Amino acid sequence: MYSLDQLGYDSYFQDQNQSETHLIGRVSTLANGIYKVLSADGEYPCQVSGRFYHRAIEARDFPCVGDWVLFERMPGENKGIIHGVLERKSLLSRRAPGEKQEEQLMAANIDTVFLVNALNQDFNIRRMERYLMQVYESGASPVFVLTKKDLCDDVEEKIEAVEEIAFGVPVHAVDALHRDGIEVLQPYMQQGRTVSLIGSSGVGKSTLMNQLIGDQVQKTQDIRSGDDKGRHTTTHRELFLVPDGGVVIDTPGMRELQLWSGDDAVDQTFQDVEALATQCKFRDCAHDQEPGCAIKQAIQNGDLTEERYKSYLKLQRETKFLDLKEKYGSHRAARIQVKEIHKGTW
């Protein structure tokens, strides 16, 4: 038995649910086409109906972890049939590896994504920019969580460095191992709110999860001496209820993300660069040799770092290439890219 409120059911979903015959539930895990659905009535393994299956056209038409689904109990059995998925508030997805570029759904209806990075190891601002873009694409709100502050001497400097690339995005430093600073994360985990964690292996996601969930649900492993990386311990995606309210979704695939698309996401992530560009003398300024270029000026003044500007250009090119690839396939996309490089427009 679950309380729907605690699972995150709110007016956004209530308004969509006109069904009097179907039950409502939230998908907690997915394996081999079987969805585990949590509902006010209990937990049911479910499959999508034949009709649903035939109507679905693309990956995002199917349910994924975090989705609210309308389902029906099979008479006399402890199983269910899914008939519909409610419209999502947010969706984290990535490109499947390989030529086909299919979208792979990671998790739905996440309110807050904790972007987890360790303060002591492999502290990489450029990677954080990528993560941030991914979250902006999904529709969820990003929050930076910098772990292992007990192992770092310049916590304040690092926080500032992150704040510089993430406008208005909260940045919190914690020591998850000794439970120091964890309480600042509680407000994101209120009743009905869904949180998810993204970050590289070994940064402390499972440790943080354990602390937040208050239970050793996720297993962590000690790092081997002389090796900065924790071994990969999480094997399946899952949705957890936090005892004091809130929902946490952990899916291993979300730990390493691949950009999906996202001109808008580039713009949001690099609001400072975009704002500068509007101040260039020429509207079509390439920020190269033009007079009155605000970006060149800002780099000279030290208001914008060369690295950040390069990162912006790189991510812009990357998303441009992804879009071309999606439109024309990788062969033609590569040809267009080579041509543009020759013309100097890439």
Ligand X SMILES: Nc1nc2c(ncn2[C@@H]2O[C@H](COP(=O)(O)OP(=O)(O)OP(=O)(O)O)[C@@H](O)[C@H]2O)c(=O)[nH]1
Q: Which residues are annotated as a binding site for Zn(2+)?
A: 280, 285, 287, 293
Q: Does 175 bind ligand X (CB under 6 A)?
A: yes
Q: Does 135 bind Zn ion (CB under 5 A)?
A: no
- CB-hemisphere CA count at 13 Å for 155? 14
Pick the closer one to Zn ion by CB: 75 or 344: 344
Residue 89 binds: one of ligand X, Zn ion, none (C-beta under 5 to 8 A by kind): none
Q: Choose which of 135, 285, 298, 322 interacts with Zn ion (CB under 5 A).
A: 285
Pick the closer one to ligand X by CB: 45 or 252: 252
Min separation Cβ 225 and ligand X, Å: 11
Strand partners, 146: 117, 173
Q: Does 177 bind ligand X (CB under 6 A)?
A: yes
Total of chain residues touching Zn ion, rule CB under 5 A: 5
Pick the closer one to ligand X by CB: 135 or 265: 135
Please, are residues 178 and 205 in contact by the beta-carbon 8 Å criterion? Answer: no
CA distance 132 to 162: 11
CA distance 288 to 295: 9
Residue 203 binds: one of Zn ion, ligand X, none (C-beta under 5 to 8 A by kind): ligand X
- CB-hemisphere CA count at 13 Å for 178? 7
Residue 204 binds: one of ligand X, Zn ion, none (C-beta under 5 to 8 A by kind): ligand X
CB proximity list for 101: less than 8 A, separation 6 or greater: 95, 325, 326
Q: Does 205 bind ligand X (CB under 6 A)?
A: yes
CA distance 84 to 22: 9
Min separation Cβ 1 and ligand X, Å: 30
Tokens of 98: 């390989």
Q: Does 295 bind Zn ion (CB under 5 A)?
A: yes
What Rg value do the Cα atoms of the chain yield, rounded? 22
Q: Does 201 bind ligand X (CB under 6 A)?
A: yes
Measuring CA to CA, which residue among 78, 154, 98 is closest to residue 123? 154
Q: Does 183 bind ligand X (CB under 6 A)?
A: no
Residue 223 binds: one of ligand X, Zn ion, none (C-beta under 5 to 8 A by kind): ligand X
Q: Which of residues 223-252 bind ligand X (CB under 6 A)?
A: 223, 230, 232-234
Element housing 190 (H / E)? none
Tokens of 338: 């080579």
Q: Does 24 bind Zn ion (CB under 5 A)?
A: no
Residue 215 has what DSSP assignment? Answer: S
Closest residue to ligand X, Cβ-based?
204
CA distance 310 to 145: 25
Cα torsion at 77, 78, 82, 85 (round to 10°)? 160
Min separation Cβ 304 and Zn ion, Å: 11
Q: Choose which of 293, 298, 304, 315 interacts with Zn ion (CB under 5 A).
A: 293
Interface residues with ligand X (CB under 6 A)? 147-148, 150-151, 175-177, 199, 201-207, 220-223, 230, 232-234, 255
Interface residues with Zn ion (CB under 5 A)? 280, 285, 287, 293, 295
